[in-house]
Each structure stands twice: as C-alpha cells, then as structure tokens.
Amino acid sequence: MEQAPELRGHVVRVTTNAPAGYNSGMRRFIYLIAVLLWLGLTACGNKPDLTPAAPPGGLHPYQTATPASTPSPIQPLTVIVFPTPTPFTYTVAAADTLNGIATRFNVRLDDLLTANPGLSPTALQVGTVLTIPLGGNTSGEPAPTPVPLAIRQTDCWPSAEGGLWCFALADNNYAETIENLSAQFTLLDDSGQEVDSQVAYGLLNILPAGKTMPIAIFFPAPVPADVHPRAQILTAIRLPADDSRYLPVALQNTLVRVDWSGRTARVTGWAALTTQSTPAGTLWVLGVAYDQYGHVVGVRRWDASAPLNAESSLAFDFLVSSLGPPIDHVDLLAEARP
C-alpha cells in the first residue's frame, strides 16, 4: 500500500492593498481567515494511519511458529573432550578388504574382529558399518587423530509423539575433507543433571572443506519438559588428499520450492561426476532445511537407486520437511563412492 505524500512547510501569505481608511475589524477578519487556512493545510499534511486492523475473532498474524515446549537453542560445550579410547565407524565400500581397512586405520586385524563380533573376514558386504577400535592400536604406528571440529549450534524440536529431534551443526574450517563425524548429545535438566545421552553420526561419511553438516539424533518419548541440549564432537578424521574411496561429484540445475505453509520443500536437480573415473555405485544427496534465523529444522538424505556413470548424470527429486519453524532455504551436500 502506498502512503499518501507527506506535506510539509505550508505557508499562506495574504496581501491586502486596502486604502488608509480601511477599518481594523476587516483586517482582523482577514487575519483570522489566513490562520484557519494554515491550520487546515497543516492537518492535511499529517501521515495517514496505516496500521492494519486486527483480524476478526481476536486472531493476530505471526511470522514464525515456535513449537510449545521447544528448548531454547544454546551454545555447545566450549571445551571438547575426546574420550580414550575413541571408537568410530566406517562404512564398507566396494573393493574394500578387512586387511585393507585395518591397515588404513593402523589397527590390528584381531582388534578389528574383536570390535565387530560376528563379522566374516571372507564375506565382507558393501554398506556394512564397522566399529574402528582406535584405542586398541598396538602396532606402534600413529593412528588417525581426531580434529577439534567446531559446533556452530545445537537445536532440538519436539515430535508429535513426545520425543525430541536434536541437531548439532558442525563446521569444517579445515582445508581437508573430514571423515567419520560423530558427536555426543546430552540432555540436561534445569539443575544441570543429565537426563539422557546418545552418540550420533554424520548423515554423510564425509564433510568437505568449508562446508557445514548437521549431526542428528532422536530421543524417544517421554522427554521431560525444559531440557537443555549439549553436543560435543567425538570423532572427526582428516581425509588424505589421495584417498580414492570417494568420487568427486557436482550438483547441477538444483531447484528448491517451499510450499505455501513453509512446512515442506521439494528439491530437484542433477548429479554428475566431475572426472572420468569409475562409476559411482553409491550416490547420496543430503538436503538440510533452515529457518530464517539459520537454525536447522529438518534433514533428508536421498539415495540413488542406480549407478552414476562418468559420462552421464542422475536426476534427484525428494521432499524435506520442517520439524520446527517454517523453512526459509535448503542447502545441499553430496557424496559418491565406487
């Protein structure tokens, strides 16, 4: 709505050329007319009241919806303490062998088998999640060193059944890609006592340099009201530049369409390998939804159902929904493996 133009500084001059015998009463009358004209013009220059009337029924519009009993976002622990030993996980990729995995992480094969009971060394399945016992390294060689990755924010949103979804947004400020990201989530009551605690892992195996990625965890119902989340990084390993277990992938022609309610966003685009390499047997696209204040409100990982060849591209199409306030934008990350 355009505002009416503002009128300022109106001056009214009344000039008379009355003869010398003109009576003083007539002059006072003219002066009174001039004053009334000046007051009328000044009143017309006031700005109109553009405040919208309240809607019927006593309802008032609002910009964002904050769920009831949502804990206020708070900062994570400023000092990161790494437990000893520090276990983390590794997802078996194509062409992996148990001996090769043990050699890569500088652990003994016996320690690796002990940390993964029931694992068959001769029937290693792609996609199997292995626990890497870094604390069991007795070879005398240096093991991968966790880096103190920063956590930008920790937010939690209640679920419909009384549980709690929590997100810790991790920043990779290093020049190298980070692998095997995990964090410890702890819920504290108002007195600082621990209510619940869980370990969560990255939604992708790697976090590229300069990127951010949430670590997500769900605390099932019942969750007490007014709990406060804390998160600290447990594992974050620098990925060697010559590592061949991940393929360079780019996302092209991406489009994010948020519906009218702000609760759901549709994400579409194409994924393509950026070098002439072996086909990608595994392709993941991660959508991270943020509200207008930059807080994570939802995540969704899309898994390709077909291999991605170097000379072609794959289309992706998925929905990501908000667990909290309306979605403002969606950021994307991708991972490809042979």
Minimum mean pLDDT among 71-75, 84-88, 103-107, 291-295: which range? 71-75
For residue 73, tell me if it sits in a domain: no
Q: Is the pTM of this model over 0.85?
A: no
Last residue of a domain, one of 238, 272, 294: 238
- Between 23 and 264, the higher pLDDT residue: 264
The pLDDT score that the predictor gives to residue 134 is 59
CATH number at residue 114: 3.10.350.10
Rounded distance between C-alpha atoms, residue 145 and residue 240, angstroms:
12
Number of domains the chain is built from:
4
Q: Kindly state whether residues 213 and 160 are assigned to the same domain.
A: yes
> Which residues constitute the domain of residue 195?
150-238
Query: pLDDT at residue 158 above 90?
Result: yes
CATH number at residue 329: 2.60.40.3230
Last residue of a domain, one of 238, 266, 289: 238
Do 295 and 303 meet the contact criterion of CB atoms below 8 Å apart? Answer: no
Q: Kindly state whether residues 277 and 254 are assigned to the same domain.
A: yes
Residue whose pair of structure tokens reads 């590229």 in the numeric block: 208
Q: Kindly state whether residues 234 and 253 are assigned to the same domain.
A: no
Do 280 and 331 meet the contact criterion of CB atoms below 8 Å apart? Answer: no
- E-only strand ranges, 105-193: 129-133, 150-158, 164-171, 178-188
Rounded distance between C-alpha atoms, residue 304 and residue 314, angstroms:
8
Rounded distance between C-alpha atoms, residue 312 and residue 294, angstroms:
34
The pLDDT score that the predictor gives to residue 108 is 78
The pLDDT score that the predictor gives to residue 201 is 87
